[in-house]
Copies of this chain bind each other. A is one copy, B any other.
């Protein structure tokens, strides 16, 4: 008797992936292995176990990956000051490579030939999952139900689920948000619904992690962030793991109305898409990291990082975390971070992250040279003449030969 084909499914426990689970069993006669991870989405993952069992799943993987996620994905990315299209902090993008990696590892463990996920055919996530799988296990195949089936509306999904007694929390799904959401330690995102009109401002109750700046405390709060090699290792003097850092900063940022973002972005698949994001910790981390770099990084190193940043961000956004070019850039970025040590003091107040001070034993800021006061010869102002004259030589020659520069 032939063995069933094994499929490792990224299973959240929600409606969509529960339907997928059953659909895989039915359509592909598959033995489904579920994988559910806590990456800080803020919902219990254990309930997924009972549901999977109820649907006959024998191999159930439920894991707390928050620490690994923060340490090996979010933190390295923030060393690059990565922002996609000037605004987006890549909250969804950065979670996918870890999920892909675990799907692949579990598939290898079980000798499964397939993985499956609940991402649609319009979005970036399918690309991120599948490119990751290609890079880590080239022969693994992916089943992407949303690209195959005709259950294209919420109603058909619900009907399918009811018909087959799929265990759905109908009470919960009754009051379902009109938005498509995604959450992890770094952010929560909202798409769809009224957001599909980019001129429409979302109502206040769309936001879940942050209070509005208006409702944030009237008193600012100062926080001290300690850096080692580009990473935050302590908050207000208390040593923390990467995940603890993010949990704490999400709490602080959320309380002070920090990290809301409303934007239109360009998806890798070729369309523009409107999204709203809450990234409290990330918003603080980006600004603070730039502040500590501002005193510890060499100018040209900083500029090189800035020029390559958009490319790095696109790689992460487009799903190329597991690629030789991302790795190559990461090696370079990490090399630059050795001296990025010290303390940044930030003031949090009603949506604002204000840098209030930065210091470091590795500081390259030299008050003796920069001073407006007498510097006792630390800097010879006459040097500037030659500096300007030779930097301008090509311009002078060109102008004297009649080139117009205005």
Given contacts A274-B365, A298-B325, A394-B300, contact A130 B388 (CB under 8 A): yes
Q: Please, which residue of chain B has its CB at the minimum distance from the CB of A300?
A: B325
A281 to chain B, nearest CB (A): 18
Verify if A85 is at the interface (C-beta below 8 Å from B): yes
A354 CA / B95 CA spacing, docked (Å):
26
For the complex, what is the distance from the CA of A406 to the CA of B105, rounded to whole Å?
12
- Interface segment, one of A163-171, A232-240, A329-337: A329-337
Nearest-neighbor residue (CB-CB) of A266 within chain B? B299
Interface core residue of A260, A350, A358, A370 (most chain B CB under 10 Å): A370
A369 to B380, CA, bound (A): 27
Is A76 an interface residue when CB atoms closer than 8 A count as contact?
no
Binds B, one of A29-37, A41-49, A53-61, A137-145: A137-145
Could you tell me if A355 and B262 are in contact, using CB atoms closer than 8 angstroms? Answer: yes
A365 touches B264 (CB 8 A): yes
Determine which of B121, B131, B274, B324 lies in contact with A336 in the assembled complex, contact meaning CB atoms within 8 Å.
Answer: B324
B332 touches A329 (CB 8 A): yes
Q: What chain B residues lie within 8 Å of A85 (beta carbons)?
A: 290, 294, 302-303, 306
Given A152-B374, A214-B349, A270-B397, check contact A325 B304 (CB 8 Å): yes
**A343 CB to nearest chain B CB (Å):** 8
The answer to whether the Cβ of A1 comes within 8 Å of any Cβ in the partner chain is: no
Which residue of B81, B134, B301, B387 is within 8 Å of A325 (Cβ)? B301
How big is the A interface, by class? 35 or more
Q: Is A180 among interface residues, defined by CB-CB distance under 8 A?
A: yes
Residue of B136, B273, B382, B403 touching A370 (CB-CB under 8 A): B273
Contacting pair A270 B122 (CB below 8 A) = no
Q: What residues of B have a CB within 8 angstroms of the CB of A324 in the complex?
A: 298, 300-301, 336, 398, 403, 405
Question: Is the CB–CB distance between B198 and A359 below 8 Å?
Answer: yes
* A213 & B270 in contact (Cβ 8 Å cutoff): no
Residues of chain B with a CB closer than 8 A to A354's CB: 260, 262, 351
Q: Identify A367's interface contact among B120, B137, B197, B388, CB under 8 A.
A: B197
Q: In this assembly, does A385 line the interface, its C-beta being within 8 Å of a C-beta of chain B?
A: yes
Task: Please provide the chain A residues from 239 to 289 with a CB less than 8 Å away from any CB of chain B in the complex.
Answer: 260, 262-266, 269-274
Q: Are A385 and B144 in contact (CB under 8 A)?
A: yes
**Interface mask (A212-230 → B, CB under 8 Å = 1, otherwise 0):** 0110001010000000000
